[in-house]
Amino acid sequence: MVASFPAPHASLGGLDAALRDRGFAVLAPESVAALAGVAQADLDALSSSWNDLLPDEYLKDGGRYRKRRHSCFVAEDGTVRQVPHRMHWQSVDYNALHGGMQRWFEPIEPTVVAQPGWSKLLGGLAQVFSRRMPVPRWSIEAHQFRIDTADGLGRPTPEGAHRDGVDFVAVLLVARSGVKGGETRVFEANGPDGQRFTLTEPWSLLLLDDARVIHESTPIQPQDDFGYRDTLVLTYRAAGFQGDEET
């Protein structure tokens, strides 16, 4: 028996207060669509692209359970634009397992980026984070993940509980099929408090103040023969992209 606790949804009107008071917030799908200023169908139109992700060749545990694509964007002056394809890099201070590596993943498909829901979602989140930290420009990394149970167990966060080394993180559940587990856990970075819950609704959203909280997702297991969990992870950093000083 795998326990499942409901997500503590905030209202869209209470989002800023939740981020300020707790360092994280969870939004239901209808609030995510309203935040982005799009119809739910515009978000749903992105979902099929998760079927075209490619294996992550950098997993140090030798697993075959993660597929992904990665692209980078800048939000500035009310617009979102894609930047030339670049590596994903984290220091070992934030990712002890895969930190210090120049990881080059295949980019997110142009047809996905061209969807109206894509730039509006990224731009809407930039507005939310700018209310907490007014800056002229956000460097955004977008990761499409599929974690599956091809190995019998899939690990959404093989590095364990962590921070990402950015200012804010958005984790959107895109799909969940044939799995149990995958519980989200958020902890105070400098305190004892934490909360655990499971995101189950497509396009539900977890927002994190990366300086204040640590997060992880527990492994997934198949309910029968095979299952998967799809997420879109967006990181927002005011000081430019991680790794720029390493190149």
215 within a domain of the structure (yes/no) = yes
pTM of the model: 0.94
Note the pLDDT of residue 227.
96
Does a structural domain hold residue 243? no
242 within some domain? no
Inter-CA distances, 167 with 8, 42, 132, 146, 154, Å: 22, 27, 10, 24, 27
Please state, in angstroms and rounded to a whole number, the distance separating the CA atoms of residues 42 and 173. Answer: 15
Instruction: Compute the distance between CA of residue 177 and CA of residue 40 in angstroms, rounded to an integer.
Output: 20
CB-CB contact of 27 with 35 (8 Å)? yes
Whether 3 is covered by a domain: the verdict is no
> What's the pLDDT at 89?
81
Q: How many whole angstroms from its chain centre is CA 161?
A: 14
User: Looking at the domain assignment, is residue 27 inside a domain?
Assistant: yes
- Looking at per-residue pLDDT, the higher value among 8 and 1 belongs to 8
Q: Comparing C-alpha atoms, which of 150, 200, 153, 194 is closest to residue 172?
A: 200
Any domain includes 1? no
CA distances from 90 to 7, 17, 239 (A): 29, 29, 14
Distance CA 143, CA 166 (A): 14
Task: Give the phi and the psi of residue 83 in degrees, each rounded to 5.
Answer: -110, 165
Please report the pLDDT score of residue 247 as a whole number. Answer: 43
**91 or 66: which leads in pLDDT:** 66
Q: Please report whether residue 6 resides in a domain.
A: no
Q: Which residue has the tokens 């998967």?
A: 228
- The CATH number of whichever domain residue 183 belongs to comes to 2.60.120.620
Alpha carbon distance 94, 165 (integer Å): 6
Tell me the pLDDT tens digit for each residue of 39-63.
999 999 999 999 999 999 888 787 8
Q: What tens digit of pLDDT does each residue of 79-134 get? A: 999 999 999 886 666 555 565 577 899 999 999 999 999 999 999 999 999 999 99
Q: What amino acid is encoded at 151 in this protein?
A: D
Tens of pLDDT, residue by residue over 156-209, are 888 788 889 999 999 999 999 999 999 999 999 888 889 999 999 999 999 999
- What pLDDT, on a 0 to 100 scale, did the predictor assign at position 58? 83
Residue 3: per-residue pLDDT: 60
CA distance 82 to 103: 19
- Total domains, the chain: 1
Domain that holds residue 137: 12-80+91-237
